[in-house]
């Protein structure tokens, strides 16, 4: 069975600094990997996904993520954080071919300090 | 464009009362539909998914049930709510055969007292 780990409950970053939100996965095979963002009392919004090809994936709102197969990681990054980036971020994995949905990590609270 | 609607947005119910949360999708046909529960603002737990009318797969045995009476309608129900049913319920859809991304509704917050 696949699983996703987000080792940090919370990440604090000063506005303007680069940010990284960590994600590692455990699967047998080649995963499809996703990042979502959730603002308070809202649904999840899709940010980006990795299927195959270039290990650096660019997504919405200036976010990008780097797929590292040897480290089984898919960390979310942004070169310069904004206060408005403060939210709950979820990493997710899907093994493809089925309809049984995504497996999500527990989420990481990202707090951008002015 | 596709849209997804969930209602009610907020619900406060006594223990032992019934529950019905509804989700509809517009602008697409034959979507896969999902119900997730999010407890305490953190991780998501897949409850049910459906690949077609009347076809429901349950991921976790519990006090809840799901139905899909129409192609783009997905309903989450309970006959008798428990305190532990409190949480934020999210409906989502995906396109069969796509690359897996889910599109979520705005959620329904259920408080059982």
Residues in chain A: 114
| Residue A106 sits at the chain B interface (C-beta within 8 Å) | yes
Return the pLDDT at B99.
Answer: 74
Encode chain A (114 residues) as per-residue pLDDT tens digits.
788 999 999 999 999 999 999 999 998 888 899 999 999 889 999 999 998 888 999 999 999 999 999 999 999 999 999 999 999 999 999 887 777 788 999 999 999 999
Q: Are A49 and B100 within 8 A, CB to CB?
A: yes
**A47 contacts in B (CB within 8 Å)?**
none
Collect all residues of chain B within an 8 Å Cβ-Cβ radius of residue A49.
99-101
Got the DSSP string for chain A?
--EEE---SEEEEETTS-EEE--EEE-SS--EEEEEEE-TTS-EEEEEEE-SS-SEEE-GGG-EEEEETTTTEEEEEESS--GGG-EEEEEEEE-SSSSS-PEE---EEEEEE-
How is residue A39 written in tokens? 């603002």
The Cα of B101 is separated from the nearest Cα of chain A by a number of Å equal to: 8
Minimal CA separation from B111 to chain A, in Å: 13
Q: Taking residues B73-85, report their average pLDDT.
A: 95
| Token code pair at residue B68 | 């899909």
User: Cβ of B16: how many Cβ atoms within 10 Å?
Assistant: 11
The pLDDT score that the predictor gives to residue B96 is: 67
Residues of A in contact with B74 (CB under 8 A): none
- Three-class DSSP labels, chain B: CCEEEEECCEEEECCCCCEEEEEEEECCCCEEEEEEEECCCCCEEEEEEEEECCEEEECCCCCCEEEEEECCEEEEEECCCCHHHCEEEEEEEEECCCCCCCEECCCEEEEEC
């Amino acid at each position: 069975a696949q699983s996703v780990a987000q080792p940090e409950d919370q990440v604090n970053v000063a506005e303007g600094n680069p940010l990284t939100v960590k994600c590692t996965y455990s699967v047998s095979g080649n995963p499809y990997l996703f990042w979502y963002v959730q603002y308070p009392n809202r649904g999840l919004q899709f940010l980006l996904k990795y299927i195959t090809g270039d290990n650096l994936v660019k997504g919405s709102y200036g976010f990008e993520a780097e797929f590292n197969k040897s480290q089984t990681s898919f960390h979310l990054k942004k070169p310069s954080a904004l206060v408005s980036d403060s939210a709950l971020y979820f990493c997710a994995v899907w093994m493809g071919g089925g309809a049984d949905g995504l497996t999500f990590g527990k989420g990481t609270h990202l707090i951008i300090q002015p | 464009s596709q849209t997804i609607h969930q209602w009610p947005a907020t619900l406060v119910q006594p223990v032992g009362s019934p529950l019905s949360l509804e989700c509809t999708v517009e602008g697409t046909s034959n979507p896969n539909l999902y119900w997730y529960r999010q407890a305490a603002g953190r991780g998501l737990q897949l409850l049910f998914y459906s690949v077609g009318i009347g076809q429901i797969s349950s991921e976790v045995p519990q006090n809840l049930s799901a139905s899909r009476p129409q192609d783009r309608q997905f309903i989450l129900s309970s006959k008798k709510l428990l305190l532990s049913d409190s949480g934020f319920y999210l409906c989502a859809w995906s396109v069969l055969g796509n690359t897996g991304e889910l599109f979520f509704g705005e959620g329904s917050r259920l408080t059982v007292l």
